[in-house]
Amino acid sequence: MKEVQKLEAIKMDEAAFQKQISGWVEHADKRAREYKVAINKGNFEAECPYPELIGLFEHIRQLLLDKGWNDQVAIYTQQIRIYHELLEKDNKLREIEAQKALSRKETKELLKIKVDEAQELAKVKRLEEVKTKNMEEFAFNKYISDMVNKAEKKAREYDLVKPEAKFEVECPYPGIIEGYEYIKKLLLDKKWNDQAAIYTQQIRFYQEKSEKDKKLRDIELQKAERDKKYKDLHKIQEIDSIEAVLRSLDKEEELINFEEKKEREIAKSEEIFNMINNAERMEKKYEQEKKKDRILQVDCPYEQIIEIYKEAIKKFESIGWKKESSNIINSIRYYKEKIEKDKILRELALKK
């Protein structure tokens, strides 16, 4: 079942997602350091990276909000504030440098020192161009941020719609995907590849949500068709014999039995998914404790998670969901490998 596969994919991708964010942060810090060195050497022709880095951290913060990682959101909010301050200082510094350049030019003219006027003017012009570019990139980031906020607002509003009423409103996911593809193109045109990669993930995320929404709508349509057939059975205008009545009742009973079976399956599947979600929460909580270097103060939950998954397999098989049962077997193998890795980490922690 797609829902189970999605849960498995999310579980296996969280570590990779955290690693990718760390890579983006390291890249941003490197660019900021290199730019600071260039400015300290008086190279005001170097391109200011702060607008792009502000945009990068804003999108990282949005991704963390979407994932519910609120403990990390404050870190990147602070980073955004720092880079806004650095950008403002950079603009003021460039204004001062431009004024100095003009002042030097005027002094040389007064002292009748022959200078290359074209070169001096060109330097001033370049400084002004850099400043203008910084302002344009800041406006560009705001434009992108506004588009993202509108898209995410539509998604949140749609998620709050009651399930039985969702099929009466238009699904916003295709429009959100189209908007993110446009944003990705704009970023690639500016060679902001790190930010473009973020939207590649967002596009994939909403494509999965759109596919799930379409399947749910198909199921609702099928249910409506079954309800219609069921109601049609009650509209028999003429019944020629008792035998015809009995046949009609048999069909009604078959439909009722079918609906009851589906309801039992749905209730059972919800119970299984709750078990899986509980296991996911156990893993996430343990991972957070490991990040705080508290691995020796907490018990490893992986064996308990494996037992939960074994029970989930039995329950899936009891309702005939063999494909979903097979998917969970892969998760068990994954957690067995994590047990071995956890033992190594604990041994290393003991040696510290």
On whether both 37 and 144 belong to a single domain, the answer is: yes
Position 234 pLDDT exceeds 80: no
Section 146-165 average pLDDT: 86
Out of 116-125, 261-270, 281-290, the most confident range is 281-290
User: Residue 183 belongs to what domain range?
Assistant: 2-216
Residue 323 banded pLDDT, cuts 50, 70, 90: confident
The single residue listed with the structure tokens 């009604």 is 252
Residue 237: inside a domain, yes or no?
no
272 in the same domain as 206 = no
The token pair at 258 is: 């079918």
Tell me, yes or no, whether 178 and 273 share the same domain: no
Is residue 254 one of the residues assigned to a domain?
Answer: no
Q: Is 59 exposed, middle or buried (0-12, 13-18, 19+ CB in 10 A)?
A: buried
CA atoms within 13 A on the CB side of 211: 10
Residue 109 belongs to a domain: yes
Q: Is residue 14 part of a domain?
A: yes
> Among 190-194, 237-241, 304-308, which stretch is predicted with the lowest mean pLDDT?
237-241
Count how many domains the chain has. Answer: 2
Q: Residue 105 is which amino acid?
A: K
Per-residue model confidence (pLDDT) at position 1: 44
Q: What is the DSSP letter of 301?
A: -
Q: Is the domain of 290 the same as that of 207?
A: no
pLDDT tens for each residue of 282-318: 888 988 888 888 888 989 999 999 999 999 888 888 8
**Which residue matches tokens 């593809």?**
181
**Mean pLDDT throughout 35-56?**
88
The residue with tokens 């990282």 is 60
pTM of the model: 0.38
| Long-range CB contacts for residues 123-127, cutoff 8 Å, separation at least 24 | 123/45, 124/98, 126/44, 126/45, 127/44, 127/94, 127/97, 127/98, 127/101
Q: What is the pLDDT of residues 88-97, one digit of tens each?
A: 999 998 888 8
Q: Is residue 345 over pLDDT 70?
A: yes
34 alpha-carbon distance from chain centroid: 29
